[in-house]
Amino acid sequence: MSASLDIRLKRANKVYHEGEVLAGVVAIVSKEAVQHQGITLTMEGIVNLQLSSKSVGVFEAFYNSVKPIQLITSNIEVVKQGKVPGGKTEIPFEFPLHTKGNKVLYETYHGVFVNIQYTLRCDMKRSLLAKDLSKTCEFMVHCLPQKAKLQPTPVDFTITPETLQNVRERSLLPKFLIRGHLDATNCVITKPLTGELVVESSDVAIKSIELQLVRVETCGCAEGYARDATEIQNIQIAEGDVCHSLPIPIYMVFPRLFTCPTLETINFKVEFEVNVVIVLHDEHLITENFPLKLCRA
Amino acid sequence: MAAVQWHSRARRYESELQSCGLEVAPVEFSDYHPLKSITVTDSKSRRGARKGSTSSSSSSSSSVAPDPLSSMLDGTDPLSMFAAASASESPLTLSQSSSTGDLGRGKRREKEDEVGVDFEPWSSKRGEILARFTTTEKLSINLFMGSEKGKAPSLASSSAVSEKVRTRLEELDDLEEGSQRELLNLSQQDYVNRIEELNQSLKEAWASDQKVKALKIVIQCSKLLSDTAVIQFYPSKFVLITDILDTFGRLVYERIWSMCSDPHYSPDSFTADEVNDTAKETCLNWFFKIASIRELIPRLYVEVALLKCNRFLTKCGIQETVPRLTAMIRGIGDPLVAVYARAYLCRIGMEVAPHLKDSLNKNFFDLLGTFRQIHGDSVQNQLVLQRVEIPVYLTLYSPAIHWILQCVSYRAPEALLTEMMERCKKLGNNALLLNSVMWAFRAEFIATRATDFIGMIKDCDEAGFPKHLLFGSLGRSLACADPPEAERLPILNEAWKVITKVRSPQDYINCAEIWVEFTCRHFTKREVNTVLSDIIKHMTPDRAFEDAYPQLQSVIRKILTYFHDFSVLFSMERFLPFMDMFQKDSVRVGVCLSIMDVFIKHQQEPTRDPVILNALLHVCKTMHDSVNALTLEDEKRSLALLINGFIRMVSFGRDFEQQLSFCVEARATFCNLEPVLVQLIHTVNQLAMETRRVMRGSHSRKTAAFVRACAAYSFITIPSLTSIFSRLNLYLLSGQVALANQCLSQADAFLKAAVSVLPEVPRSISIEGKLRSSEGFLLDFINNFLSALLVVPDHPEAGVLFLVRGLLNMVQDYTWEDNSDAKVHVYISALPLLAAMSQESYLYSIPKVDSNETLYGGDPKFLAEINKLCETLIGQVLDHLKTLGRDESVHRQGSLAFSLFGCLLAHGDLRNNKLNQLAVNLWNLSHKQGYCNTRTSVRTLEFIKHQAQQPDMAYLSDMLHRLTLQSRT
């Protein structure tokens, strides 16, 4: 005999906002009746911080994982000890998403050193002879949209050998002129990053032009803070020797879960940047960095 | 049983005819008549006014001879009615993936922005591209799945099945996460197979719910499109891989569609609001996944493949996505890769949202914008590396640009086309574009500007796109639409000036073949002749024609479509020399077949033109000579049909002798085709009868000699036929013709020959491949023969009734089937003949031929001879009846007895007591067993009653009393 436990949320996209009600059903499917000692539901929101080995020593990183920050927690007993009849049983539930005190529900975010995650766990306790059943389900929390109207902040850029920093031998660089603009650096997270790029001239053929989305995570702890930048994704927008002086669109969709509105708290920070990377045929790599400010509108 | 005495009843044929003639009732046209066409109220699909009945249509017909069959079928042919009915309905949608899906709907609501039937679908281009862009070089497939854990490629190319299965299984494993493989040194066929395997594993992965794996396969496949190694193969590679993408797009769409499982809205016209959240979420997931594909080309292709899924999300999703994708293609550096990506986008765009014309145009203008890339350094370097010539490289673009332009120009306003053309004109080295413009734009558009185009073609760079291709494209357009009258000749001259300079025979003929149509369409035989001679000049050196048979055949076909007058056709000096280039037998025969086909279809009147006759005789001879032991029966039949059609069309009018000598020649030429010989004999017989008609029945010395010559022709031709029944029937027919022409000895010879051939008739013959008993055919023939014998006078030197006796002897000696009554049936049917022969004046006779009635003048000896013969026959029949009585075949006995009774009743003189008694006995015998058909018996009795009322037949009433009707109980 086997019973299966499942949590089904009402919303297909599992996205909820602060103040809303998280609703759904616990579904139990079994051929025969199931004896149990109570079914409970636990809702939890946690920020996990981790120190990278790069910023602090290896051992500190290993031992000094910063304590997780609990954002919200709630526990209810759905069914008291008893018996669930055979067949399919659905038990509806509701959780109001209210925080205690001055805590804020940060938006769900899956990063490297910072993780903000909301889970819903259902446990069915059973007698000693049978295994306890458990099912976990993640749900997404989105911030409430910003009230202030967002003013687009377009950025124009020009890249030439002269504008580059961090060059060892400037004279060895081939000549090139690349112009472009981003439509905005303060982006709405649901809208793509857009802009245009024009290769006006280049002595060496271009191999590839890419957009690199980078997260910058900062964790504060007793010893100070650690700041790390890692790549989220790399999107190629041009391949091969593209036609000169023809605008090439810059277009990137912000991935879900891996991005969230730019976040700044006492303990940690999550920021984003985009790099326009131009790879030349002689393996020269030219990067132009643009900090982004993401928000939800 | 004692010998019977026979006395024939004296007949007065004329009065009998009058008394039994039916009343003549005038038939009203409106009356029902089985042969009249059934008047059906016109079905709606049929617009042409149809005549109410056959008779009225034939009475109003003009010079064309009314063909009873065709006028019969006019309007009421059930097949064409079905066809009309089904044409008005929408054809079934074949498959969802192909663009033909739109065709069905296109008919019902002809909207401006729908894709109609006149849009040539991609599926028709596919095969063409695959066949055209091939390579012998080695190809490679590079597949990276997930992380880069290398795995040695195991290329076991073994033919053993188990081995094959194993490698395939391995391959499937290899597609799992973390594998990478590079397949090197693949031949083109291997490559195609691999791609097909990928297609299969995509479907399998999908079916087993491994969506991520499916997506990975698709990404890997589309990544192959960024690889331009072995560039000649790129167009074909594009076709193969977009097939996979199509599959993927369809799978995803169908899956999401199944999630919205709401039967209320139709798949064609739902809106995004009606889609439920789960489906939307799934769809959104796909798009997020695709948006994070690292490389540009796979991301682009996969997104295009899923374009249709945008309908699930928002109303104007597609409308917003297409322009973005169009702009995205700008990021592709390699112009060839970019142009094919555009072609794919245009294709899916046309399928999913044909109303988004702007994006199509944008695509084309972007293409123009990046056109200079083609001549950029990176491309040149690549070509040098791969050792590909510029003209070859440029032709690789054609399918994609053709397609884009086809989409752009589809139902586009004239102004837009003009604008596009102007923009193409402005670009340097635009031959490639020019070619596609001529290919894809409406033919009428091209035709009205043909002179401009020629000018532009002339201005093109010699080193770039091959000019013969440009002229080929122009010719193709001009073949469908007519340029202004005055420009036609200059156009032809200009074009041909260039074409004739093309050096490679293959290129030359490809181009020339196209222009032949234009020439035939607008010019006379003189110009066509010139063109032909030019083709001959180019194709003869080094036997170049051997590689160009399809094109040369097409030239002939085109000429035949436009020149139906064969006297004109064959008066072209170069036509026959042109035919001589077909030196491969099968091709030659094919060409001959098509010529004859056209001749038979279009030649209205018989001809005696020596040019036509000579040429066609030559053509037919070629066809005939192709017959050998391996030729199929059907092939022979169709060849013979065509040759017969030709022979029927030959007529020398009053010059009968020449006609005969033509037949002699034809017989020598076509001796291997039996149906042709049969036709020739018929022709000659007809010739003899025609002569008789012209001479009004009395031959002069000269014509008598001629008809004898005709008879001689038939007589010596018939024995060479193998089919026994053809021989018999032709002997009989020719004998009748000879008799009609007063050639008595010839007629005798024919009939004697027929009798002497009789024993050779096999008991079973093969008809349409099945063995059948020949008995029925033989009986038919003998009956036919007997009726002819009535008018054949006895030969003065042979005995009385020489032929009849001869025939009966043959019948007696013939090995009939066991247990068959056929022989007796022949005997019974000989009785009426003999009875007819003993009349004072015969039922029918041949003018100017004295039959036996005149020869013997009712001589008692002659009559006695006949009676004796009858008695012998009756004796034989009675003997046979007796044997039947012994056996268990009383049923047969009854029916035989009844037919003999009928014969006696009709032809015997029943005043004679013995004969009368015999008749009564036969009646009783036939009714004894109760197998007799009561209805027939009743009607027979009624007939006798009716006959008995006539003054001289009163004796029948006595007999009537003695005939009792036995009921079966």
DSSP-assigned states of every residue in B420-472: HHHHHHHSSS-HHHHHHHHHHS-HHHHHHTHHHHHHHHHHS-TTSS-HHHHHH
The confidence band for A245, taking pLDDT boundaries of 50, 70 and 90, is confident
Task: State which residue of chain A sits closest to B374, comparing Cα positions.
Answer: A243
**How would residue B300 be classed by pLDDT, with cut points 50, 70 and 90?**
very high
Tell me: do A137 and A168 sit in the same domain: no
Which residue from B921, B907, B729, B935 is spatially nearest to B828, judged by alpha carbons? B907
Confidence at B739, pLDDT banded by 50, 70, 90: very high
Query: Is residue B215 predicted with pLDDT exceeding 70?
Result: yes
Number of domains making up chain A:
2
Question: Can you name the residues that pair with A293 across neighbouring β-strands?
Answer: A186
The verdict on A172 and A283 lying in the same domain is yes
Domain boundary among A84, A113, A142: A142
Beta strand segments in B23-156, E: 139-145
> How many C-beta atoms lie closer than 10 Å to residue B644's C-beta?
21
pLDDT value of residue B31 = 56
Distance CA(A142)–CA(A17), nearest Å, equals 5
Asked if A9 reaches chain B (Cβ–Cβ under 8 Å), the answer is no
Asked if residue A147 is part of any domain, the answer here is: no
Measured between beta carbons, the chain B residues lying within 8 angstroms of A251 are 324, 328
* Residues from B in contact with A at Cβ < 8 Å: 226, 276-278, 280-281, 284, 287-288, 291-292, 294-297, 299, 324, 327-328, 330-334, 337, 369-370, 372-373, 376-378
**Lookup: tokens for B116:** 């109609």
In terms of domains, do A262 and A225 share one?
yes
Indicate if A8 and A103 belong to the same structural domain: yes
Please say which residue of A114, A142, A170 terminates a domain. Answer: A142
**CB of B623 closer than 8 Å to CB of B593:** yes
Phi/psi for B227 (5° steps) reads: -95, 120
Is residue B151's pLDDT more than 80? Answer: no
pLDDT band at B142 (very low <50, low <70, confident <90, very high): low
List the one residue out of A92, A90, A94, A75 whose CA is nearest residue A4.
Answer: A90
Residue B690, pLDDT > 60, answer yes
Largest CA distance in chain B: 121
The sign of the dihedral angle between the CA atoms of B169, B171, B175, B178 is positive
Is the domain of A162 the same as that of A120? Answer: no
Residue B482 in contact with residue B517, Cβ under 8 Å? no
Strand pairing class (A186-188; B139-145): unpaired
- Tens digits of residue pLDDT in A18-42: 888 888 999 989 888 888 888 899 9
Mention every residue, 6+ apart, whose C-beta is less than 8 A from residue B219.
Answer: B293, B298, B302
* Per-residue confidence band for B65, with pLDDT thresholds at 50, 70 and 90: very low
Q: Quick check: B522 and B488 in contact, CB under 8 A? A: yes
Is A26 contained in some domain?
yes
Return the percent helix, strand and coil in chain B, to nearest 5. 65, 5, 30
Assess contact for B942 and B965: CB atoms under 8 A.
no
Confidence of residue A172 (pLDDT cuts 50, 70, 90): confident
Residues B102-128 pLDDT 10s: 433 333 344 445 666 677 788 888 888
The tokens 């109570």 sit on which residue?
A: A38
Q: What is the pLDDT of residue A61?
A: 54
Contact A242 B369 (CB under 8 A): no
Q: What is the pLDDT of residue B680?
A: 94
Query: Residues A237, A281: one domain?
Result: yes
Q: Is residue A149 part of a domain?
A: no
- At residue B38, the pLDDT reads 53
Query: Per the domain annotation, does A196 fall within a domain?
Result: yes
Q: The tokens 């073609």 sit on which residue?
A: B457
Query: Band of the pLDDT at B753, cuts 50, 70, 90?
Result: very high
Q: Are residues A246 and A132 in the same domain?
A: no
Q: CB–CB of B551/B558 below 8 Å?
A: no
Name B388's Cβ contacts closer than 8 Å, sequence gap at least 6: B231, B232
- Residue B155: predicted pLDDT: 36
> CB distance B369–A246 less than 8 Å?
yes
CB pairs under 8 A between A and B: 85
Whether the CB-CB separation of B369 and B332 falls below 8 Å is answered with: no
- Cross-chain Cβ contact A249/B377 below 8 Å: no
List the 218-247 stretch of A: residues with Cβ below 8 A of B.
Answer: 233-243, 246-247
pLDDT at B716: 94
Strand duo A155-159 + A176-182: pairing: antiparallel
Listed in sequence order, the DSSP H helices in B229-308 are: 234-259, 277-291, 296-305
Q: Which residues pair with B499 in a beta bridge?
A: none
Within this chain, do residues A126 and A238 fall inside the same structural domain, yes or no? Answer: no
**A267-289: average pLDDT:** 89
Alpha-helical regions (H) of B27-92: 54-59, 68-73, 78-88
Max mean pLDDT range (A66-70, B549-553, B883-887): B549-553
Q: With contacts defined as CB-CB under 8 Å, which chain B residues touch A247?
A: 330
Q: Quick: pLDDT tens for B8-31.
A: 888 888 887 777 766 666 655 555
Query: What pLDDT does B67 receive?
Result: 45
Select from A13, A239, A252 the Cβ nearest to the Cβ of B281.
Answer: A13
Distance from C-alpha of A64 to C-alpha of A70, rounded to nearest angstrom:
18
Residue with tokens 């708290």: A265
Q: What does the pLDDT look like over B557-580, one tens digit per residue?
A: 988 888 888 888 888 888 888 888
Beta bridge partners of A276: A211, A288
Residue showing tokens 């890339």: B373
Q: Do B333 and A13 touch (CB under 8 A)?
A: no
B754 phi, psi to nearest 5 deg: -60, -45
Q: Which residue of B has its CA nearest to A257?
A: B288
CATH code for the domain of A64? 2.60.40.640
Q: Does residue A165 form part of some domain? A: yes
Question: Which structural domain range is residue A32 located in?
Answer: 3-142
User: Do A210 and A108 fall within a single domain?
Assistant: no
Band of pLDDT at residue B634, cut at 50, 70 and 90 = confident
> Are A31 and A138 within one domain?
yes
Q: Compute CA A205 distance to the chain's CA centroid, rounded to the nearest angstrom.
A: 36
SS3 B370: coil
ipTM over 0.85: yes
> What band does A270 get if pLDDT is binned at 50, 70 and 90?
very high
Closest of B926, B933, B884 to residue B905, by C-alpha: B926
Would you call B370 and A243 a contact, using CB atoms and an 8 Å cutoff? yes
Contact present, A123 and A137 (Cβ < 8 Å): no
Give the number of C-alpha atoms closer than 13 A to the C-alpha of residue A39, restricted to the C-beta side. Answer: 25
pLDDT of residue B144: 55
The answer to whether residue B506 scores a pLDDT higher than 50 is yes
Contacts for A119 with CB less than 8 Å, ≥ 6 apart: A43, A44, A45, A46, A136, A137, A138, A139
Separation CA B896–CA B922 (nearest Å):
9
Distance CA B282, CA B275 (A): 11
Among the partner residues B331, B370, B378, nearest to A237 by beta-carbon distance:
B331
**Is A246 in contact with B330 (Cβ distance < 8 A)?**
yes
Q: Round the average pLDDT of chain B to a whole number and report it.
A: 80
Closest Cα in chain A, distance from residue B86 (Å): 47
Distance, in angstroms, between A14 CA and closest chain B CA? 10
Give pTM, 2 decimals: 0.68
What integer best gives the mean pLDDT of chain A? 86
Range with the lowest mean pLDDT among B173-187, B883-897, B914-928? B173-187
Domain shared by A102 and A160, yes or no = no
Is A150 within a domain?
Answer: no
Q: Which of A111, A142, A173 is at the close of a domain?
A: A142
Does the pLDDT value for residue B395 go beyond 90?
no
Reply yes or no on whether the pLDDT at B147 is more than 60.
no
Q: Do both A7 and A57 map to the same domain? A: yes
Nearest to A253 among B276, B278, B288 (CB): B288
Amino acid at B683: T
Evaluate whether residue A88 is within a structural domain: yes
